[in-house]
Amino acid sequence: MTRSFDFKGALCVVLALVLAAAAAADEDPRRAELEKEIAASAEVEQKILVPMRDGVGLATDVYRPKGAEGPLPTIFWRTPYNFSRLSLSRLEWISRAMEKGYAFVIQNERGKYFSEGEWKILGFPRTDGYDALTWIAEQPWSNGKVGTIGCSSSAEWQLALAATDHPAHAAMVPMASGAGMGRIGRFYEQGNWYRGGVFQMLFGVWLYGVQNTQRPTFPADISQEDRVRLGKYFDLAPELPDVEWEKAIRHLPLEDLLANVDGPKGMYAEFIRRAPDDPAWYEGGLYHDDEPWGVPSLWLNSWYDVAISPNLELFNIARENATDAEAADHQYLMIAPVPHCSFFRAEEDTLVGERSVGDARWDYYGLIFDFFDFLLEGEANGFARETPKVRYYTMGANEWRTASAWPPEEAETKTLYLASDGAANSLYGDGRLVSEPSESSDRDTFPYDPTTPVPSLGGGVCCTGGTVEPGAFDQRHLEARHDVLVYTSEPLEEGIEVTGFVDVTLYVSSDAKDTDFTVKLIDVHPDGTAYNLDETIQRARYREGYDRQVMMEPGEVYEIALGPMATSNYFPKGHRIRLEVSSSNFPRFARNLNTGGNNYDEAEGVVALNTIHHSAEHPSRIRLPVVER
């Protein structure tokens, strides 16, 4: 009997083999090594349901070194993300923890994956976080001291936990922890939701994937063994449809952003309606500046992250609000020249966007374990004596620097004033930064049309669905726009280092009831390349405070304080300092529709004609913290 050849079936088999081979080739060989190391070195308990005070159980995996004698210090990583298949970074931490003689505990927030209950952003740090520490400290294998660690979401919950001063919480390493902060000194970001009273679009994109809490559930009485077995069959990770965010992020009104992409209902619809000082922000899991701080901390932050300035502000507040001398004395800050959570990806020639910042590598594993050894095991390793309070990377000089405080105590303010002959519009205008305010009453006017906003290009961004890449990029093609004012210094006669908070004050007017004002600090190279260092924004209605909204009147001039921005950058001889001013930076920041309305429930805007005033009477200016070397 002759059998026909199933060409289609054979093609499918071949394609499957090709895809399998490609997947195997893409698999990092380090994964197999780490999994083998952990299997050989660790005793593992998976899918333990750690009980919270209300009876809800949180899915928890525990790794302990095989054959370890005596109680163990614990490293605790808590996350809203899936860890059914551990990431390379988690595997690396577990392997190193086993080698160093630590227990390693990883736990899902309530309502996530195999954890019971309903999820809320930051995962109830003051109750669930506290109870998890209590459970760890009471285990027979625990020495009663826990160090929390994590980046982004795994760091953010630690901040409010620090306010509770749990007796077992001996140390913490929050990396890129911006979204855990509420009101921090001059900043009312409320978990990175706002900057200067303007919604940061990243949160709409992030919540599309994270706030989906609809999931299969299992009977409450299943055994731990069954949970482990089911974890091999199901990881409960939803596969949401791909979204073309380049297009979707432009949707108006803002309150329908997620509904427009058939995203899950959830907290977005509530949060988008909250003002920057809404009382509801103070009822959740955010840490605010009027709370105590009880934990020694090693802060890892980066120049091109979403919330570098508030993070630096919090470092100072933690020292001021410390509940005891140990917490006050053991606050350490590290600032790297990388994007969000990219500390371990620095290279011998580190590129941040388009700009090379040199060899920005550091032995973070060694630093963190030295910190934990000192505080969790009481090891006399010289950490406190040898570790500077502040270590930061100065771009341009491409060197690590140290200081005893932030900003460095030796920083002195240099003020530059905006000036022009009335035509600072674009790179080709006559905008200048000068050492003295102009004696004449000059001004620059530009249109802001919310239908054609200035596009975001680089900067301290994260999580925008690929619509904005973080880092430093040549800004000149944006500076060619008529709705961007460009103010540039003369070439520097000698190099200067700018390190610290950068403040900008503008005197403005508008024919709109409300509008936004944006600024960028730029390092202009001798060949004209214009690299962005930091940026910020301010909504005019909040110029008198975030607890009120005051609209503008045509013809009136208003003082608006933006920032502070933050950076450490060396401007060599021949470079120029530049300040860009505009009214949009989209999609990093939501567009102001200029109507004076809510913005979040509006789909139509109006064009605003905005003016920057600069004179002795209206000295629009930038204040630079200069460190002499």
3-state SS assignment for residue 77: strand
Count, residues in the chain: 629
Report yes or no: 438 and 419 within 8 Å, Cβ to Cβ: yes
Phi then psi for residue 189, to 5 deg, are -80, -25
Going by C-alpha positions, the residue among 358, 308, 345, 277 that lies closest to residue 549 is 277
Q: Residue 413 pairs with which residues in a beta bridge?
A: 625
Q: SS3 for 319?
A: helix
Residue 359 annotated as catalytic:
no
Which residues are CB-neighbours of 279 under 8 A, at least 6 positions away?
A: none
Active-site entry in 166, 340, 575, 614 = 340
Instruction: Provide the token pair at 168.
Output: 């077992």
HSE of 521, CA atoms in CB hemisphere, 13 A? 30
Phi/psi region, residue 117 (left: phi>0; alpha: psi -120 to 50; beta: rest), is: left
Distance CA 298, CA 396 (A): 25
CB 126 within 8 A of CB 283: no
Q: Is 152 a catalytic residue?
A: yes
Place of tokens 């669930």: 128
Strand ranges in 354-495 using DSSP code E only, listed in sequence order: 355-356, 390-394, 399-403, 412-419, 432-434, 442-448, 485-488
Residue that the structure tokens 């990806």 belong to: 345
Element (H, E) at 46: strand 42-51
| Token reading at 233 | 């069959």
What is the rounded end-to-end Cα distance, in angstroms, of the chain? 90
E-strand ranges in 142-248 read 142-151, 169-175, 183-184, 187-188, 194-195, 198-199
The contacts of residue 283 (CB under 8 Å, 6+ apart) are none
| Cα–Cα distance, 414 to 403 (Å, whole number) | 20
Tell me the three state secondary structure of residue 328: helix
Q: Catalytic residue at 340?
A: yes
- The Cα 394–Cα 175 span in angstroms is 19
Residues 6+ apart with CB under 8 A from 407: 499, 500, 501, 625
Give the tokens for residue 511: 């024919």
- Give the count of beta carbons closer than 10 Å to the beta carbon of residue 7: 8
Distance, in Å, from the CA atom of 214 to the CA atom of 380, rounded to the nearest integer, reads 49
The active-site residue out of 95, 115, 142, 152 is 152
Contact call for residues 198 and 188 (beta carbons, < 8 A): no
d(CA 503, CA 622): 6
Of residues 128, 277, 289, 305, which has the active-site annotation?
A: 305
Q: Which residues are marked as active site?
A: 152, 305, 340
